[in-house]
């Protein structure tokens, strides 16, 4: 599988402060299949499981990047709805989120996001809708 680099209009190394705190990294900038990873360690809830809020932040990040890639350099995107289902606990390693578009419109885009653990087991699924705004 080929990995897509960020487009030239994205400043090198651009991340959000929250992504930095959680260790979220976009690893594939393909608008049709955007991928991000996040370590479980440091993002657990008190029982040692990956925190649901951290999972949602991962989903928001990868889905928002997917929407931004589709919107292009002269527009910005904001999340307007997020639904998440937690299917299996992640307790160690890294989780990977893959965002695929359901609809890419001029003003609204919706992405399905599947989160998996290091063994490929699905830990969560989500749907993110983003609004595209003029810059």
pLDDT, one tens digit per residue, over 77-128 is 999 999 999 999 999 999 999 999 999 989 999 999 999 999 999 999 999 9
Active site (annotated) includes residue 60: yes
Confidence (pTM): 0.94
Confidence of residue 135 (pLDDT cuts 50, 70, 90): confident
Domains parsed from the chain with CATH numbers: 17-134 (3.10.129.10)
7 confidence band (pLDDT: 50, 70, 90): confident
DSSP assignment of 91-110, as one string?
A: -SSEEEEEEEEEEE-SSEEE
Output the six-digit token pair for 19.
Answer: 């992504």
Extract the tokens encoding 4: 């897509």
Residue with tokens 């991340």: 15
Q: Is 75 helix (H, G, I), strand (E, B) or coil?
A: strand
Catalytic residue among 41, 44, 60, 81: 60
């Amino acid at each position: 599988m080929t990995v897509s680099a960020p487009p030239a209009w994205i400043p090198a190394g651009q991340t959000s402060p929250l992504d930095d705190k959680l260790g979220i990294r976009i690893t594939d900038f393909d608008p049709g299949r955007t991928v991000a990873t996040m370590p479980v360690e440091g993002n657990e809830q008190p029982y040692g499981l990956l925190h649901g809020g951290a999972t949602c932040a991962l989903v928001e990040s990868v889905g928002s990047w997917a929407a931004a890639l589709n919107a292009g350099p002269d527009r910005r995107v904001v999340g307007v709805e997020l639904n998440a289902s937690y299917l299996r606990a992640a307790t160690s390693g890294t989780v990977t989120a893959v965002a695929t578009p359901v609809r890419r419109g001029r003003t609204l885009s919706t992405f399905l996001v599947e989160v998996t653990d290091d063994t490929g087991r699905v830990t969560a699924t989500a749907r993110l809708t983003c609004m595209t705004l003029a810059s």
